[in-house]
Amino acid sequence: MYQSSKNNKMKKIIKPLAIILSILVAFFVGNYITRYGIVIGKDGSKYGTLLKYADDVEQFKGLYEVKEDLEKLYVGDIDQEKLVDGAIKGMTSSLNDPYTVFMNKEEYDRFMQSNSGEFKGIGVYVKLEDDKVVVDSTISGGPAEKVGIKGGDVILKVDGEEVGSDQSKAVALITGAENSQVNIIVGRKDTELEFNVTRETIKTVSVKNEMLENNIGYINLSTFNKDVSIDFVNALEELKGKGMKGLILDLRGNGGGYLVEAINIASQFIPKGEVITYRIDKYESKEISKSEGGVAIGLPLVILTDGGTASASEVVTGALKDYNAAVTVGTTTFGKGVVQLPFELKSGIGGLKVTVSKYYTPKGEDINKKGIIPDYEVKLTEEDVNKDYSKDTDPQLQKGIEVIKDMIK
């Protein structure tokens, strides 16, 4: 009787499952996304083999068997939405890729908002380091800085939920309604610290510029959020108008962002038509991004890098270094040579962020898990990190000034 009941239910379940799988396959086969310079499914024939999965549902029977048994036997309440979330997150986590994640609708909306240049949160940039979500830097004057959260703090829990290595989850939990409170537990050295932080509307100023001594321009670029390249070009033009003879581009702590913004920024220093980066996906399809030309070609340039310089920042650094368009100063970059594509699922249950390709520098260098070694290595001491910041006592910046002075003689 129990077996028969189970089989009847399975027949009812398998049919909608096949429909769901067909929809998913149709999504991947029939759509491609070019908004941010990443193309998926340009050649539909490469995805034809995926169609077989619409009919092959045998491997998913166990999933529904477990669901049915839980509903029959589990003594507590079952939240169906959480059950689905957990099953899908288990699917993505099985890939052992911290950058490929499923986000439910709330998490996805918050994630996309955090990349828009304005979001409601506590004012921190986070990165993945040694499979931990780490505070890369805090936004000056933001809620996190006010309560004492610092760069280098490891985010352990947000509102009681363990974060682990899930960066997207951390971002989603940290952001929220303005004036609401969030409880954050961080690890700092051998100590756990707890903070209650009130969220605010954070308007990220991603581009800061000033003129240093000897007509040396300085631009700090904190993230590659949407349309940041427009602000970057405006900063370049402003400094040029003041008589800039050389530029220091500070990419320290810049964990990346949109690839198209990195390409637009690198284009400012590289002649039109030259390759900035190329990407290769799982089907060995090669997608090349070339320079559109820009306003600072030939300008003496020093790039400051550190272990937090990652992803889109490494696209810029790698391209300019390959063309001898820049000298790099600081420490080796993070080494994230893979590209993710975030997209909303048609079902409306949330979104996926998927690693879709590896990228390479113009000369074909694969920097993933290796990083980019600077031309001049300058490490910060513990004293440098802990003391109040001053440009005059920043050894990496001062070395950059020394190098660029020689370049503009």
What are the catalytic residues? 311, 336, 340
Q: Where are the beta strands (DSSP E) in 114-164?
A: 118-121, 124-129, 132-138, 154-158, 161-162
Burial of 53 (0-12, 13-18, 19+ CB in 10 A): middle
**Cα–Cα dist 166/174, whole Å:** 12
Identify any residues that bridge with 119 across adjacent strands, giving them in sequence order. 202
* Side-chain half-sphere CA neighbours of 95 within 13 A: 14
- What is the rounded end-to-end Cα distance, in angstroms, of the chain? 90
Q: Where are the beta strands (DSSP E) in 17-109?
A: 101-104
Which residue in this structure is represented by tokens 């931990």? 132
**Cα–Cα dist 102/89, whole Å:** 6
**Cα–Cα dist 261/360, whole Å:** 17
